């Protein structure tokens, strides 16, 4: 996804004179060609994330369409007040593109993990949040974002699905229909959700765009009033959105995702998936219990 | 130099500020930025109050959003908005609050209040204007205490590294930084490659000269020293 992001952005810099890119020492090697061709519109501020977002806001103020890019914790968490004030409060458009996701690099430890990035952005109004599950989806969503003038967060990951889905209309896609609960698989979680639920009577929705939250499709396909969220970031990030969508309906909700603090262990993303029950086996266990109306929590 | 269409005078400002505060006299801290702002809008900035969104206008960003009465008075004096708007300051229906809001008031380039945001934004703004071949200049006003925020020091380096000679930072120094700036404020900018000047923040001629000076491929910092905050 990161390479596709850089390739598409490099191409768009040639075609879209309003496009600018601000980097903070991350992925600079992927933008060398773009920087040499568009010196004034490819800017590296060094390891300065407040300046990354502040100067992105200034570029937007000047009439350009800026993309700011770095590792997720340093794009959203470290300069969060710049995201809130410099972009949001000024009502400026910008595209923030992160890598690292929740724990794409467990070898780096918690400092480089961002389970809470989407939840944090969700405290701010009028952000579109894309969580693509395939490089082709990055291509579509990025081009769309560049052509728009809104505030967009695109969360890239090294975890991908085998096939791209059709994205860009902001709606959840119906992957499979059943008569039981509806499982919302976000971005890279789709393949493992399909594997985990292959013989379960559930509806599976795919969400590459999570904000705005497509309550209409969820409501439209809902069979049993029961929803399973499978999000690749902090568990429960979209729980309130489900509650709002089903406000008039007694319903059950299971929210799966990453814990607020990742485990103090290194290893691979697969090791962490297994630890948090986000691998196919873990998902299958949680979703099966939910489908069977068994409590997820021990009552003893 | 200026495209101001109104015939405002410096003497107009005190009564305008009184409309905001209800007081006839104002403390030095309420007026620390007054002379700098007056000189900027009277003699330096190329902004037409009748066309505050003109893409070719110079930009002035009030980063230090605290104590904006002098800013409001100067904008009103130049006709960016009617002086009547000064009444009811910070009331529920007022467009003017203790921190300016660009969505509410013509002529206000950024909504400020939280300290340490303007210089980073101004850096990007100057980069963006230059990338588009727009020769408009960017000015940003910060306070000496506001410089405490580390975000400023990120931007100071970036602006100099990118040789933003259309950018001017004005530091109004009323000696209010709790831990001080040993070696002086100008040195913080000079070290990174800015052209600097430290002047009496009440001396209009000195301010105008300092704000008119630019050095090729160097951003400009003007430290305007006023009475210590009481």
Instruction: Tokens for A114, please give them.
Output: 């961002």
Taking an 8 Å cut-off on Cβ atoms, the answer to whether A51 and B129 are in contact is no
Which residues in chain A are closer than 8 Å to B109, comparing Cβ atoms?
A: 61
Q: Decide if A235 touches B, using CB distance below 8 A.
A: no
Mean pLDDT of A157-180: 97
Instruction: Please tell me which residue, B24 or A257, carries the higher pLDDT value.
Output: A257
Rounded to a whole number, what is the distance in Å from the CA of A181 to chain B's nearest CA?
45
CA distances from A283 to A70, A99, A195, A196, A241 (A): 30, 24, 9, 6, 21
- Rounded CA-CA distance A253/B188 in Å is 55
- Rounded CA-CA distance B191/B178 in Å is 22
The 3-state DSSP class for residue A255 equals strand
- Rounded CA-CA distance A83/A63 in Å is 18
To the nearest 10 degrees (0 to 180), the angle between helices A49-61 and B150-161 is: 60
- Rounded CA-CA distance B79/B9 in Å is 12
Predicted local distance difference test score (pLDDT) of residue B25 = 80
Taking an 8 Å cut-off on Cβ atoms, the answer to whether B124 and A66 are in contact is yes
Predicted local distance difference test score (pLDDT) of residue A295 = 64
Per residue, the 3-state secondary structure of B159-221, as one string, reads HHHCCCCCEEEEEEECCCCCCCCCCCHHHHHHCCCCEEEEEECCCHHHHHHHHHCCECCECEE
Mean pLDDT of A216-237: 98
- Of A220, A136, A128, A126, the closest CA to residue A173 belongs to A220
- Rounded CA-CA distance B32/B34 in Å is 6
Predicted local distance difference test score (pLDDT) of residue B227 = 93
- Of B4, B126, B128, the closest CA to residue B59 belongs to B126
Which residues in chain B are closer than 8 Å to A46, comparing Cβ atoms?
A: 157-158, 161
Residue B5 has pLDDT above 70, yes or no: no
- Rounded CA-CA distance A281/A159 in Å is 17
Confidence of residue A296 (pLDDT cuts 50, 70, 90): low
Q: Which domains does chain A have, with CATH numbers?
A: 2-155 (3.40.50.970), 173-291 (3.40.50.920)
Instruction: Tokens for A79, please give them.
Output: 């300069």
Q: Are B116 and B149 in contact (CB under 8 A)?
A: yes
In a domain, B22, yes or no: no
Confidence of residue A294 (pLDDT cuts 50, 70, 90): confident
In a domain, B111, yes or no: yes
The pLDDT > 70 percentage for chain B reads: 97
Taking an 8 Å cut-off on Cβ atoms, the answer to whether A59 and B150 are in contact is no
Q: What is chain A's mean pLDDT, rounded? A: 97
End-to-end CA distance of chain A: 44
In chain B, whose CA is at the least distance from the CA of A87? Answer: B121
Mean pLDDT of A12-27: 98
Instruction: Tokens for A14, please give them.
Output: 């040639």
Rounded to a whole number, what is the distance in Å from the CA of B153 to chain A's nearest CA?
9
Q: What is the DSSP string of chain B?
A: -----S---GGGHHHHHHHHHS-SS--TTTTTTHHHHHHIIIII----TT-TT-TTS-EEEE---SSTHHHHHHHHHTTSS-GGGGTTTTSTT-S--SS--TTTSTT--S---STT-HHHHHHHHHHHHHHTT----EEEEEETTGGGSHHHHHHHHHHHHTT-TTEEEEEEE-S--TT--TT-HHHHHHTTT-EEEEEETT-HHHHHHHHH--BTTB-EEEEEE-PPP-
Domain that holds residue B170: 29-65+99-225
Taking an 8 Å cut-off on Cβ atoms, the answer to whether A89 and B111 are in contact is yes
Residue B1 has pLDDT above 50, yes or no: no
In chain B, whose CA is at the least distance from the CA of A22? Answer: B124
Confidence of residue B22 (pLDDT cuts 50, 70, 90): confident
In a domain, B47, yes or no: yes
Predicted local distance difference test score (pLDDT) of residue A297 = 55
HSE of B89, CA atoms in CB hemisphere, 13 A: 19
The 3-state DSSP class for residue B155 equals helix
Taking an 8 Å cut-off on Cβ atoms, the answer to whether A41 and B119 are in contact is no
Rounded to a whole number, what is the distance in Å from the CA of A51 to chain B's nearest CA?
5
Residue-wise pLDDT for B81-91, tens only, equals 999 999 989 99
- Of A267, A227, A264, the closest CA to residue A243 belongs to A227
- Of B113, B86, B115, the closest CA to residue B99 belongs to B113
Taking an 8 Å cut-off on Cβ atoms, the answer to whether A54 and B55 are in contact is no
Residue-wise pLDDT for B184-205, tens only, equals 999 999 999 999 999 999 999 9
The pLDDT > 70 percentage for chain A reads: 98
Residue-wise pLDDT for B104-125, tens only, equals 999 999 999 999 999 999 999 9
Mean pLDDT of A5-34: 98
Predicted local distance difference test score (pLDDT) of residue B71 = 96
Interface test with B, best of A20, A40, A58 (most B CBs within 10 A): A58
In a domain, B164, yes or no: yes
Predicted local distance difference test score (pLDDT) of residue A187 = 98
Residue-wise pLDDT for B153-177, tens only, equals 999 999 999 999 999 999 999 999 9
Interface list for A 62-91 with B (CB within 8 A): 62-64, 66, 81-82, 85-86, 89-91
Query: Cα Rg for chain B, rounded, in angstroms?
Result: 16
Taking an 8 Å cut-off on Cβ atoms, the answer to whether A22 and B124 are in contact is yes
Mean pLDDT of B175-184: 95
Mean pLDDT of A191-205: 98
Q: Are A213 and A178 in contact (CB under 8 A)?
A: no
Taking an 8 Å cut-off on Cβ atoms, the answer to whether A43 and B111 are in contact is no
Q: Decide if A126 touches B, using CB distance below 8 A.
A: no
Specify the CATH number for the domain of residue B179: 3.40.50.970
Predicted local distance difference test score (pLDDT) of residue B27 = 75
Interface test with A, best of B63, B121, B164, B167 (most A CBs within 10 A): B121
Predicted local distance difference test score (pLDDT) of residue B130 = 98
CB pairs under 8 A between A and B: 107
Q: What is the DSSP string of A104-115?
A: S-GGG-GGG--T
HSE of A119, CA atoms in CB hemisphere, 13 A: 18
In a domain, B185, yes or no: yes
Q: Are B153 and B116 in contact (CB under 8 A)?
A: no
What is the count of structural domains for chain B?
A: 1
Interface test with B, best of A54, A91, A93 (most B CBs within 10 A): A54
Torsion of CA A76, A80, A18, A8, to 10 degrees: 0
Mean pLDDT of A231-241: 98
- Rounded CA-CA distance A266/A109 in Å is 6
Taking an 8 Å cut-off on Cβ atoms, the answer to whether B158 and A90 are in contact is no
Helix, strand counts (H, E) of chain B: 7, 5
Predicted local distance difference test score (pLDDT) of residue A268 = 97
């Amino acid at each position: 996804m990161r390479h596709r992001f850089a390739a598409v952005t490099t191409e768009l810099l040639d075609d879209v004179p309003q496009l600018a890119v601000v980097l903070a020492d991350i992925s600079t090697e992927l933008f060398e060609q773009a920087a040499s061709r568009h010196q004034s519109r490819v800017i590296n501020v060094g390891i300065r994330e407040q300046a990354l977002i502040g100067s992105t806001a200034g570029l937007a103020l000047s009439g350009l369409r800026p993309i700011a890019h770095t590792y997720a914790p340093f794009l959203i968490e470290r300069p969060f007040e710049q995201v809130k004030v410099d972009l949001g409060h000024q009502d400026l458009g910008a595209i923030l593109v992160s890598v690292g996701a929740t724990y794409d690099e467990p070898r780096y430890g918690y400092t480089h993990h961002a389970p809470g990035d989407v939840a944090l952005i969700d405290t701010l109004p009028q952000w579109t949040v894309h969580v693509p599950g395939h490089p082709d989806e990055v291509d579509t969503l990025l081009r769309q974002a560049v052509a728009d003038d809104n505030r967009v967060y695109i969360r890239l990951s090294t975890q991908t699905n085998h096939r791209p889905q059709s994205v860009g209309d902001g709606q959840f896609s119906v992957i499979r229909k059943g008569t039981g609960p509806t499982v919302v698989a976000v971005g890279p979680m789709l393949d493992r959700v399909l594997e985990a639920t292959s013989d379960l009577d559930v509806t599976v929705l795919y969400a590459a765009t999570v904000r705005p939250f497509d309550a209409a499709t969820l409501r439209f396909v809902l069979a049993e009033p029961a929803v399973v969220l499978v999000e690749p970031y902090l568990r429960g990030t979209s729980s309130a959105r489900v509650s709002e969508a089903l406000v008039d309906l007694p319903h059950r909700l299971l929210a799966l995702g990453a814990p607020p603090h990742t485990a103090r262990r290194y290893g691979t993303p697969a090791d962490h998936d297994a630890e948090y029950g986000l691998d196919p086996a873990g998902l299958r266990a949680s979703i099966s219990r939910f489908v069977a109306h068994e409590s997820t929590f021990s009552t003893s | 130099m200026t495209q101001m269409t109104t015939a405002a005078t410096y003497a107009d400002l005190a009564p305008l500020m009184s409309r905001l505060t209800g007081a006839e006299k104002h403390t030095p801290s309420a007026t620390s930025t007054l002379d700098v702002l007056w000189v900027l809008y009277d003699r330096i900035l190329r902004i037409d109050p009748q066309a505050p969104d003109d893409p070719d206008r110079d930009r002035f960003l009030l980063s230090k959003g605290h104590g904006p009465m002098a800013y409001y008075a100067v904008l009103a004096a130049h006709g960016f908005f009617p002086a009547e708007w000064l009444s009811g300051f910070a009331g529920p229906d007022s467009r003017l609050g203790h921190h300016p809001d660009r969505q509410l008031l013509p002529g206000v380039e950024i909504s400020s209040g939280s300290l340490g945001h303007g210089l980073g934004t101004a850096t990007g703004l100057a980069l963006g204007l230059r990338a588009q071949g727009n020769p408009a200049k960017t000015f940003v006003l910060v306070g000496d205490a506001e410089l405490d925020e580390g975000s400023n020091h990120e931007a100071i380096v970036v602006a100099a590294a990118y040789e933003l000679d259309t950018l001017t930072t004005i530091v109004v120094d009323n000696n209010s930084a709790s831990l001080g700036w040993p070696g002086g404020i100008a040195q913080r900018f000079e070290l990174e490659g800015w052209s600097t000047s430290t002047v009496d923040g009440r001396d209009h001629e000195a301010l105008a000269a300092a704000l008119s000076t630019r050095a090729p491929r160097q951003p400009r910092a003007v430290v305007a020293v006023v009475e210590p905050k009481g």
